Amino acid sequence: MTKKFLYTLITIFLVISFYFKESIINNILYITNSTKYIISSYINSIKTDISIHFNQIEQIKQLKEENREYQNYIAKMNPLIAQAMQLKYFKNIDTPNLTFTSTISYAKLPDITTIYIDYNKTITSPKGLIYNNQAAGVVFKNFKNFGVATLNNNPKTTYTVFIGKNKIPGVLFGGEKIVIKYIPKYHKINIDDTVITSGLDKIFYEGVNVGKVKKIIQKELYQEVIITPFYNPLHPNFFYVVN
C-alpha cells in the first residue's frame, strides 16, 4: 500500500466523519442507550424475580406455619370428634337418680380398667356406672374434681346381682373373667340365664343388665358362674352414675 493511497483513505474517512458525524454520534448514542435500557431492564427483571422468590419463600413459610397450627388443632379435635361419634350410640335413660358423665382419661396406663370421669359430686359409698342400661362398673372415690371408676374387667369391681327369672342372688367380682360367687347350691341355674343388678347393695338400682351365664362351677358350699358381660369396656366414653 503506497503512502499516497493511505493518505487518500484517511482524507476520505475524515471527510465522511465531518459530514456524517452527527448521524454517527446519534447512532452511537442510540446503541449505548439501547444497551443501557436492555441491561437496566434485565437487572430490574432479576430484582423482580428475586423479590418474587423471597416473597414466595415468606409465603411458603407462613403457609407452613398455618398448616402446622391447623394440624395441631385437628389433632386436638380428633379425640373430641371420635368421642362425639360414640354419643350417637348412647341411649337416654329417663330416671331422676342418674347423672350423665363422660370419661376424662384412663387413671394410670397401662391399666385400662380404671378411668377418671367428669363427676365432681362427693362419693361416700360406691355408685353404679351405667351404659345403655348395662352395668359397666363402679365409681368408688373422688380425685380432685373427678370421679374414679373401675370397669367390670377390674378385679376390684364388685356388686350384687340376680340370676335368671327366679332372681337367684349372688355377688359379682370383676376381672378378665367376670365371676358371680356365693350362689346357694340348691338354686337351679341354666346356661344363658340373664344376670341383672339386684340393687340390694345400693350401688345400682334393680334391673340393670349385666350379662349371661356362660359356665357353671360347683363348689363345696356354693355355686359359681362365669358370665359373658353385655358391656364392652374397650370404649369407655359416656355413662350415667347412679346417685
Structural domain ending residue among the three candidates 48, 65, 88:
88
Domain count, the chain: 2
Name 209's bridge partners.
134, 196
Helices then strands, each counted (H, E), the chain: 1, 12
Non-local CB neighbours of 20 within 8 Å, separated by 6+ positions = none
In one letter, which amino acid is 85? Answer: M
Whichever domain contains 203, its CATH number is 2.40.10.350
- Using CA atoms, how far apart are residues 153 and 150, in angstroms rounded to an integer? 8
Tell me whether residue 227 is exposed, middle or buried, using C-beta atoms within 10 angstroms of its C-beta: 0 to 12, 13 to 18, 19 or more.
buried
Q: Going from the first residue of the chain to its last (243 residues), give the mean pLDDT of each consecutive group of 10, the final group possibly shorter.
A: 59 55 58 65 70 72 70 54 53 78 91 93 94 94 93 96 96 96 94 97 96 95 96 87 92
- Three cell numbers at 197? 343388678
pLDDT digits (tens, 9 = 90+) for 198-234: 999 999 999 999 999 999 999 989 999 999 999 988 8
Same domain flag for 70 and 166: no
* Domain housing 113: 95-243
